[in-house]
Structure 1
Amino acid sequence: MTMTTFALPALIVMLVVNAYPVIYAAVQSLHNGSLLQTGPFVGLSNFGAALTDPAFWAAARFTLIFALCGVLGSWVIGFALSLLLHPDFPGKSLYRVLLLVPWIVPIVVSSMSWNWLVATRTSIVPELARSVGMGNVLFLANPTLAAVVVCVFKVWISYPFMMMMSSAALETIDPSVYEAARVDGTTGWQQLRYIVLPITSRSTYISWILMAMFSVNDFATIYLITGGGPVNSTTSLVVLAYQSVFQNFQPGYGVAVAFLMTAALVIISVVLFRQIRKAGLE
């Protein structure tokens, strides 16, 4: 018997377990029902309603901003830290563990800590803002500042993942490559641009794909900090889908939003996977 034969039962179970929710959700998206009843068939009306809804496009815009901040912001910080931690020095392991704390700590604890820092007038950050003459700054009551807080929080909890991915990629570079580059008289910037970035590009694209998925599907970060407010300024697509299904009791519309979000993720993944293929051929 082959390995495929032994794995077949597990594959069937995984297919059934994963396929049933997707099929059921697809059926829901084509009906105008409730959480208890499927309701009448409406075809693609829910998708049309979503695509013509200003709330959908506002959520899509914030989702794009949130994802870009999550991907690029965490990668820049994580990659920079991985470069700093790449050489051997005393206490390297301790520093690496400490830098992993934002990723290790449960999201509920982290969000509570950030709420304690910025949520009220008497919180630490508003007090500091007032002490430097900025007045009474209510970070979670101002739409722009609330969006900034959520994006910064996302970068803070995500950079350890990028740091570990970048550190693993840096370990694959043969030290002799650096030695040959130094013999040729290259500067540190030239080594970074022409050696480190090209060699680690495949790992970088993979980490971008994963972080894009994490960011677009990140419900807890936004909901625990702002709940999607104020005035829906931090409502992402996944939060909008949740609100539509479980608060407004419109599962058809909410599932349609989720499917549109999934389609966008698939497109992004395909583009980045092509970049991975190109990086492998070069």
Structure 2
Amino acid sequence: MSDVMTSGEPTTKKAKRPGGRERNPEALHPGRKKTMAAMLLPSIILLIALNAYPLFYAVGQSVRDGGITGPGEFVGLENYRTALQDPAFWEAARFTLLFTVVSVFVAWVIGMGFALVLRRAFPGKSVFKVLLLLPWVVPVVVSTTSWNFMVATPSSPIPTLLRALGFGDVQILANAGTAMAIVIIFKIWGTFPFMMMMMNSALQAVDPSVEEASRLDGASRWQRVRHVILPIISKPIYIAWVLASIFTINDFPSVFLLTGGGPVNSTSTLVVFAYRLVFQDFRTGYGVAVAFLITAVLIAISIYFFRRINRAPMAN
């Protein structure tokens, strides 16, 4: 009783085994551990099989020259060598790089700007936030259909508006440059809400007193954002970048449904390129090899950003 009264909190004592040794009540009996492991083993084996079998099967496909009629003969690394020497592969890789870098960075800038705006209270803030989330919430099939309606034909609203403004007969998706721009703009439009939510959550960790101290020291709003806020939330920024990069590189429906990779493969990403090889050209081995090269790129990007995340300072 005296221990309870002096400390102000009830004390818990561990049970003692015969011989005076203390026993942790949370520790599992060795026999119980074996029983739980035996019960979990079938589920673990099933999960490994579900993930390992497709992986090893795909690896086997990538080292054969198979197609629609069968797995084909073993060719070793020939499919990977063919990919690295194929101009079409590098054309798709260049557009994938442009598509990813521009859309991720611009979407982050826009999302960061809206996140900073949403830190302030203003009338209709909740409605405004919901409206900003719509591009991310609406299914991609609906979004691409809407954008196709706006730009696909000369009679679509945007070409009609451009013609009325004196730009002539503009066929947006028939020109390589404008088609690439439309695909990138569409991806930015669908990605910035994700960036906004990530940055809005990250900004909650910024101590207002730190910003106030920098303001009293004479720092401008841009200087506070650049030298105070961004370093504090650098870890969430890197996480948002790596996630958005993975989503963008793997984004098949946005490109395929909007332009089909055209015109003349100008908007074909590596994912669309691999899809065409497997399901249109029936070059299964080559297509799977391209998919593994995409995976290698994603792993490299993830490793780079996770190293930056580990080196980034912790938010106070």
Greater CA drift, 29-38 or 67-76: 29-38
Q: Distance in 2 between matches of 1:60 and 1:143?
A: 16
Q: Is 1:234 aligned to residue 258 of structure 2? A: no
Q: Is 1:189 aligned to residue 222 of structure 2? A: yes
Quick one: which amino acid aligns to residue 279 of structure 2?
F
Contact kept in structure 1, 2:232 and 2:313, CA below 8 Å: no
The answer for unaligned runs of 5 or more in structure 1 is: none
Aligned with residue 52 of structure 1, among 75, 81, 85: 85
Label 1:7 to 1:214 Cα distance change in 2 as closer, same or farther (>3 A). farther
Q: Distance in 2 between matches of 1:185 and 1:25?
A: 59
Q: Is 1:248 aligned to residue 281 of structure 2? A: yes
CA distances 1:54-84 after superposition (whole Å, capped 9, x unpaired): 0000000011011112211110111111111
Q: TM-score, normalised by structure 2?
A: 0.85
Pairwise mapping of residues 211-222 of structure 1 onto structure 2 (< 5 A)? 211-222=244-255
Q: Is 1:116 aligned to residue 162 of structure 2? A: no
CA distances 1:174-233 after superposition (whole Å, capped 9, x unpaired): 122122222222211111011110011100100110011001100000000000111101
Pairwise mapping of residues 1-282 of structure 1 onto structure 2 (< 5 A)? 1=32, 5=37, 9-280=42-313
Label 1:245 to 1:156 Cα distance change in 2 as closer, same or farther (>3 A). same
CA distances 1:237-267 after superposition (whole Å, capped 9, x unpaired): 0001000000000010000111111111111
Contact kept in structure 1, 2:103 and 2:184, CA below 8 Å: yes
Q: Distance in 2 between matches of 1:266 and 1:73?
A: 23
Greater RCO, 1 or 2 (C-alpha within 8 Å, sep 6+)? 1
Q: Distance in 2 between matches of 1:13 and 1:198?
A: 44
Contact kept in structure 1, 2:199 and 2:236, CA below 8 Å: yes
Q: Distance in 1 between matches of 2:158 and 2:302?
A: 37
Q: TM-score, normalised by structure 1?
A: 0.95
Label 1:210 to 1:10 Cα distance change in 2 as closer, same or farther (>3 A). farther
Quick one: which amino acid aligns to residue 300 of structure 2?
I
Percentage identity across paired residues of the two chains: 52
Shift in Å at residue 9 of structure 1?
4.7
What's the secondary structure of 1:140's corresponding residue? helix
What's the secondary structure of 2:268's corresponding residue? coil
Shift in Å at residue 281 of structure 1?
6.6
The answer for unaligned runs of 5 or more in structure 2 is: 1-31
Label 1:7 to 1:183 Cα distance change in 2 as closer, same or farther (>3 A). farther
Shift in Å at residue 88 of structure 1?
2.0
Q: Distance in 2 between matches of 1:203 and 1:186?
A: 24
Q: Distance in 1 between matches of 2:262 and 2:227?
A: 44
Greater helix share, 1 or 2? 1
If you compute each CA radius of gyration, which structure gives the higher value, 1 or 2? 2
Contact kept in structure 2, 1:25 and 1:255, CA below 8 Å: yes
What is the total number of aligned residue pairs between the two structures?
Answer: 282
Q: Distance in 1 between matches of 2:56 and 2:121?
A: 52
Quick one: which amino acid aligns to residue 119 of structure 1?
A
What's the secondary structure of 2:251's corresponding residue? coil
Quick one: which amino acid aligns to residue 147 of structure 1?
M
Q: Distance in 1 between matches of 2:103 and 2:222?
A: 25
Quick one: which amino acid aligns to residue 17 of structure 1?
L
Contact kept in structure 2, 1:70 and 1:211, CA below 8 Å: no
CA distances 1:33-54 after superposition (whole Å, capped 9, x unpaired): 1245211100000001111000
Q: Distance in 1 between matches of 2:242 and 2:42?
A: 30
